[in-house]
Structure 1
Amino acid sequence: MSVRLQPTMFSIACLIFVILNPSFSLGQEDPLKDPELYLKYDVKKGASLNSDYEAVGYWNGSVYGWQVTEEGNSVYTKLFYFEGMNIRSVEMQEDGSYVSLSREVSLYRDLDTGDILEAWSSVYTGVDREVFAVTNDPVNALLYPDSGMYAYTSQHSAFMGNFFLDYPNPLDPEEYPAFSSGKQYQGENIYKD
């Protein structure tokens, strides 16, 4: 699977936010100057320019449920933890683009024990449900200098881009009709770093 980044209204809004940020200085010279250098810098932040090197990314956090009470108040409940990792290599092409090849997995963990969840009892319904690890394999992309939006302030640089996803759904609707979105999985990853 390959995706190409496209700017969207969200990306444009993020760029406007960065420009309107008080730390933004119009008098500050942008050391990266052009999209090619921004893309190279962004690749180096999350991988390596050496295509033989495999970079490891890691993330973790908590998953919350959200309900609105009869009084109209929002109530958030921590449901479980998640954590994941990504292995990635990037290779520059003759035209100045990059091919990013990676795989990733995210797991869900029990709040009390930290064990990987294979089943989870819903705090809302009491019903036990099977839990699946997120196994994104592959997570490949073609990255071009014009595939995202870049900004520079005196304190940081930013890349904003969107990955539009469309591939066969691993959660087969025949086997999981109540939970599958259909034969194709369609989604979007929105990035700002």
Structure 2
Amino acid sequence: MLESSQKVILSTMYVCQIENTEPFEKIKEKTMFSDEEIKSKIDELIKNQLVNEDKKSLTELGRNSLRVVLAGGVFDIIHPGHIYTLNAAKALGDVLVVVVATDNTAIKMKKRQPLHSQEQRKELVNSLSMVDLCLIGQEDDIFKTVNNVRPQIIALGYDQVHQEKSIIDGCKRINLDAAVARLQSPIPDSSSSKIQKEYGESIHGI
């Protein structure tokens, strides 16, 4: 059984591998350990064959010790339904990776121009405490991102149109054995489109 500090180190290394960034400073921020303590813990993880000799990437055993959850959406206006759903997604595993739709995909899905650009939406989602990593999706094939992340669980929001079967079939195509979890929301009427519409009506009514 991994200690919580070991999980933090492994999770941070996993995220940094995807971002192609150095993990040491991020581990320091998250754990508040001294440089020597971090080095000692990484050496222990190398000894247990969870981290490679480069001290910054996970072995297959290390990667498999983490439960990675993938969630996606437009996230144009962050509302309580999003927070509840993302907290529920994070509770399913150790690492939560969120994919925000590109502007073009958002227009197709919502039939309107998003209020925030894909970069702004990525920044908004990245600032949420339960999110470990936020990525902008791929327009031509969502499974390119899924293949990059290789999650054990794909979490779908209560209102997402994706069919569980098509997600499972797509995962099989990339040799990924991932479970699909359909998350419930206690606020089914809460949506970015509804908030925008109501806000617009209230402005006009002033």
TM range, normalised to the smaller chain?
A: under 0.3
Name the TM-score, length of structure 1 as normaliser: 0.28
Structure (1 or 2) with the greater helix fraction: 2
The TM-score, its normalising length taken from structure 2, stands at 0.27
Q: Quick check: which has more Rg, 1 or 2?
A: 1
The structure with more strand, counted as a fraction of residues: 1
Per chain length, whose mean CA-contact separation is higher, i.e. which structure has more relative contact order (CA < 8 Å, sep 6+)?
A: 1
